Chains A and B, each alone.
Chain A
Amino acid sequence: MATSDAPTEYERVDTATLDSPMRPVEVKRSILGTMWYIMRKYPVLPGTVLVILVIASIIGPSVAPYQRDIGPVGDRHLGVFRYSELPAEKQDAPRYSLWPAGFHLLGSDHIGRDVFTRVLHGARISMQVVLVSLVLGMFIGVSLGVVSGYYGGIIDEVITRIVDIWYAMPFLMVALIVVLIFGRGLTVLLFVLALISWTAFVRVIRAQIMVLKQLDYISAARVNGASDFRIMFKHLVPGILNTAIVVGTLSTSGLILAESVLSFVGAGIQPPTPAWGVMTNEGRDYLTIAPHQVLVPSTAIFLVVVSLNFLGDWLRDRLDPILRQID
């Protein structure tokens, strides 16, 4: 195969004009080239998707054109970009007059509810669930990681062992058992997702703390009479905050996946609340006649998770290149 022998392309530089060998090479780009360069350097597309998600989750439910849980059954399974076929008085009226009457941007579902409206509501639910459980999991994980790395010895051994056992448990199984024992509800779901997310923090942060605590400024703090608590949370935590943010971003996509899987299985958000997993599950019986009912929420999950993965990778390379080796 000859392709690999091909010499790498170098920029053509007139060496005579260089005043220092270290001078950066100036690259000339066309407008399209610049756009491509920016897109590769910064997560523009993932950022856009996530900004849309955040905006949708904040104002989406209030600007959504139709009602969330009620729709005219006569309008069921309308395709994407379709107008209602019912006589005007039987249609569900849009919530504001700017919206074309009877127009369903992303179609309607099996009981005539507007899919676009429900996807907007679903964005808020996803964001709520993930943010709360992430903060909860981050708090537990970071605290345990710091304590484990700082004290070492028997405390470290116990915490590490618990994390190991936790890894051996299939998460869906644990989640199902917890949810079905404590009942289906938002609080239980948040609790379960927090239980899933905390372990990722412990290992990474424990390893970092073990390095950090050897440094001189920690000894200095101790000589000055700082308590263990003060050293851990005043002096050590700022040092691992970047890592925590990166791990948090990387595990957000996992949490969204977990939430959608649980909702799909029936152990998470309960219908009629339109979490994307619930919407997919409701639509799967109608795959032959109304595939958009499955494809729209699936695409929403997929786009958000892809974007979060990209953003997480980018943040990791930016804030914490060492983590790259752990992955």
Chain B
Amino acid sequence: MANFLARRFFSSVISVIGATLAIFTLIQFHSDPRELFVPDSGWGISQEQWDKLGERLGLNEPLWKQYTTWIGRTLRGDLGISLARDRAVVDLIKGKIGATIQLAVGGWIFAVLLGVPMGVLAAVKRGTFWDYFARSLAIVGQAAPPFVTALVAIWIFAVILGWFPAGGRSPDFNWKEYVLPCMALGWGAAAALMRLTRSSMLEVLDSEYIRLARAKGVGWNWVIYKHALRNALIAPVTSALLVFSGWLNGALVVEIVFAWPGIGYDALFRAVNDNDFPLLLGTVFIFILIYLVFATLADIAYTLIDPRVRISGTKA
């Protein structure tokens, strides 16, 4: 296990460096970030000020030096100052990430509560109405892009039925505002979880030890919940962890549709538009960090739940 963790840590570091380096290089192709400070009207900016700005932002250094400086500061927990908003990037991200995490947790609960029971039901009642119902739900969930799910949800629940607000997030907690965004976010994941639970449940139900239990006279319900479910849940549990990190993608679209002030919309989207490179690098860094942490957690969970699994690289 220690060996695995060490390898995992090493490759994660490489991934983080590779990804941030890629973004860092890409940003260089864009216009000079100093242009952000040039006023739209008037005389523009003098050469002297231009050079001074470059010095302050560290743009006069060679590229490799800029990058290593950035890495060094990041390791000390300082992601620099946002250019467009003149605030520490760490503070900006801290302020926005809460809304995204709330959204992701809500969507995750929705996905797990819908996906796993539906998958079990579909497998246990294979070939019946419930199976087809669950599978059609899964097909709908996998084929609809997040913005379609979001807009259809708004149309049905906000416009026609008027049960929930169509978007926004007020400072005081109001559970109604969470329902539609979480549904829209969790829908695709629910479909994936359902498919996964169904297929792994079917596989387990077909195995010898289930047949043995049945042959011994164990009741069907007991077999399902005591013997089959525990083994069948291994794959869904690990994938449910990964789903979380995958939402860095979907969350942006859902945040845009619902005007949700999260990190995707308010930090990433605007950083790209403003050419605010410290904020952009910081957000990318945080995103990749979250992904890697969850990927590692999923692998660890996998070995903890299922002792049969041996991670490649560890000696059995």
A contact set with B: CB distance below 8 Å: 1-5, 161-162, 164-165, 168-173, 176-178, 180-182, 253, 257, 260-261, 264-265, 277, 280-281, 284, 287-288, 291, 294-295, 298, 301-302, 305-306, 309
Contact = CB atoms under 8 A, between A and B. Distances in A.
A257 B152 CA distance: 16
Nearest to B284: A173
A172 B155 contact: no
B74 interface: no
B19 A301 contact: no
B152 A305 contact: no
A126 to B, nearest CB: 12
Given A170-B287, A284-B257, A309 B268 contact: no
Given A261-B147, A295-B155, 7 more contacts: A170-B287, A172-B253, A173-B252, A257-B145, A265-B269, A302-B144, A305-B144
A178 B26 contact: yes
Contact of A298 (B124, B152, B159): B152
B29 A182 contact: yes
Given A165-B19, A176-B272, A181-B26, A3 B253 contact: no
A173 B145 contact: no
A173 B155 contact: no
A173 B287 contact: yes
Interface residues of B, number: 50
Interface in B24-41: 26-27, 29-30
Interface string B158-199: 010000001000000000000000000000000000000000
Interface of B: 11, 14-15, 18-19, 22-23, 26-27, 29-30, 124-125, 128, 139-140, 142-148, 151-152, 154-155, 159, 166, 220-221, 224, 246, 248-249, 252-253, 256-257, 268-269, 272-273, 280, 284, 287-288, 291-292, 295
Contact of A172 (B30, B159, B252, B291): B252
Contacts of B125: 3
A302 B148 contact: yes
Contacts of A284: 151, 257
Given A177-B23, A182-B29, A288-B159, A253 B145 contact: no
B139 A180 contact: no
Contact of A4 (B124, B257, B269, B292): B124
B128 A3 contact: yes
A294 B272 contact: no
